[in-house]
């Protein structure tokens, strides 16, 4: 079946560092990918929709200059957390779906645990 790979699985870094997270669709092409954020013991919140070859669409309240999204190819989207601070610590999960077929569900990556010291 379809697989979405997310890397790294865990990252710990100092405050002020920028961190890049990659999301790859391994066996299908994804015009659209999605980035979610999950706080401890809470639900997933959609942050942004990543569109191949165009700008991402951000949900209300998400700072586009803080969370830079690039979707340069049909199999890769990246999320860069710029100048990260402790409040950016969270679990980030990407997903991709069969956007050519509405009857295909989205598949999720395994997530990235980001810890900012």
Partner 1 sequence: AQSVTQPDIHITVSEGASLELRCNYSYGATPYLFWYVQSPGQGLQLLLKYFSGDTLVQGIKGFEAEFKRSQSSFNLRKPSVHWSDAAEYFCAVGSGGGADGLTFGKGTHLIIQP
Footprint on this chain of partner 1 (rule: CB under 8 A): 6, 30-34, 36, 42-46, 49, 59, 93, 95-111, 113
The least CB distance from residue 19 to partner 1, in Å, is 18
Q: Choose between 43 and 54: whose C-beta lies nearer to partner 1.
A: 43
Give the residue ranges of DSSP H helices in the chain: none
**Angle at CA 19, nearest 5°, toward 16 and 20?**
160
What does the alpha-carbon distance between residue 100 and residue 81 come to, in Å, rounded to a whole number?
Answer: 29
The least CB distance from residue 74 to partner 1, in Å, is 12
Hey, is 96 helix, strand or coil?
strand
The least CB distance from residue 14 to partner 1, in Å, is 22
What does the alpha-carbon distance between residue 65 and residue 21 come to, in Å, rounded to a whole number?
Answer: 16
Q: Choose between 16 and 39: whose C-beta lies nearer to partner 1.
A: 39
């Amino acid at each position: 079946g379809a697989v979405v790979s997310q890397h790294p699985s865990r990252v710990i870094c100092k405050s002020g560092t920028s961190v890049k997270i990659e999301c790859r669709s391994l066996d299908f092409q994804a015009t659209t990918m999605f980035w979610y954020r999950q706080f401890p013991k809470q639900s997933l919140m959609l942050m942004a929709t990543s569109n191949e070859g165009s700008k991402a669409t951000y949900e209300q309240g998400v700072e586009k200059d803080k969370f830079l999204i690039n979707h340069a190819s049909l199999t890769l989207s990246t999320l860069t957390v710029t100048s990260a601070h402790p409040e950016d610590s969270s679990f980030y999960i990407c997903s991709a779906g069969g956007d050519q077929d509405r009857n295909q569900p989205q598949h999720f990556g395994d997530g990235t645990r980001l810890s900012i010291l």
